[in-house]
Amino acid sequence: MQSLDAEKGLIKFSHCKKDIFCFYVPKLCPVCGQSLNYRRLEDAPVSIPSPFVNGHRQKCSFLLKPTTGTFLREYDGSSDLHVGISNTNGLVYNYNETGIHRVELGWEQCISIPLVQPDMYGLLKQWDKYLEEFSTGEAWFFHRYDEHYHNCYTYALAFINCVLAAQVKQPMSKSEFTERFVIPQTRKASKYITVYREVAENYFYIGDSPDQEQNNSEEDKLLH
């Protein structure tokens, strides 16, 4: 039996000038009831890549997930989010009111922002040592935690800035990092969640095809 949490792959095809999302391509078009034939190559079914990845398989990344539950099942757009940093071995370091945690489980469905280019061998080699040393600092003792001013995000960003400083690069503010790297990903994820839940409930999500000039909304483009 398939676990309820296992994410199914979303598929998109076009018919009747609509973009139709599903988990399984039907024999007949859900809009016109005719059998599916595709006049153009771009109308044929394609898989939609998920914005979520297993954080324990993402090396040296900034990871984001709901504090409780998962994006696909529980996230409602305003749920609390928790962030962490992965080492090269699938261990996720994160900070909360009970201090620093190094975990092997629990970050299986998250948004990931890679922090190191694959050719930065020097940094990759030092990463685990940097992360471990940084995390044992007094700043991250549990009693220093503050929900608004000294939280998981403070910890992750301070580490990122430490790495940037080691590379003689400018530090980033919270708003700069959020706007440049986090918001584009969360926006894509929200759209994906909407489509995914609709398909899980009603088999299909039917949207206007962005090829239709009159309805070329920004949202529709996100899934392309």
Write the CA distances from 35 to 41, 43, 45, integer angstroms: 16, 14, 14
Q: Does residue number 32 form part of the binding site for Zn ion (CB under 5 A)?
A: yes
Stretch that binds Zn ion, among 30-38, 124-132, 153-161, 178-186 (CB under 5 A): 30-38
State which amino acid sits at residue 224.
H
| 83, β-bridge pairs | 64
Task: Between 29 and 92, name the residue whose CB sits nearer to Zn ion.
Answer: 29
Task: Between 15 and 65, name the residue whose CB sits nearer to Zn ion.
Answer: 15
**Selection from 177, 163, 95 nearest residue 129 by Cα:** 163
Task: Between 18 and 191, name the residue whose CB sits nearer to Zn ion.
Answer: 18
Task: Between 32 and 166, name the residue whose CB sits nearer to Zn ion.
Answer: 32
Task: Between 29 and 72, name the residue whose CB sits nearer to Zn ion.
Answer: 29
- What does the alpha-carbon distance between residue 215 and residue 197 come to, in Å, rounded to a whole number? 23
Least distance (Å) between residue 23 CB and Zn ion: 18
The number of residues that bind Zn ion (CB under 5 A) is 5
Sheet with strand 46-48: strands edge to edge: 46-48, 10-15, 18-22, 205-208
Q: Please list, residue by residue across 77-93, b when 16 or more beta carbons sit within 10 angstroms of its beta carbon and e when fewer do.
A: eeeebbbbbbbeebbbb
Least distance (Å) between residue 46 CB and Zn ion: 17
State which amino acid sits at residue 92.
V
Least distance (Å) between residue 38 CB and Zn ion: 10
Task: Between 15 and 82, name the residue whose CB sits nearer to Zn ion.
Answer: 15
Least distance (Å) between residue 11 CB and Zn ion: 16
CB neighbourhood size of 129 (10 A)? 10
Least distance (Å) between residue 12 CB and Zn ion: 14
Least distance (Å) between residue 219 CB and Zn ion: 22
Stretch that binds Zn ion, among 28-36, 60-68, 69-77, 98-106 (CB under 5 A): 28-36
| Longest CA span, the chain | 66
Binders of Zn ion in range 5-24 (CB under 5 A): 15-16
- What does the alpha-carbon distance between residue 141 and residue 149 come to, in Å, rounded to a whole number? 14
State which amino acid sits at residue 5.
D
Among all residues, whose Cβ is closest to Zn ion? 29
Encoded tokens for 224: 């392309």
Binding site for Zn ion (CB under 5 A): 15-16, 29, 31-32
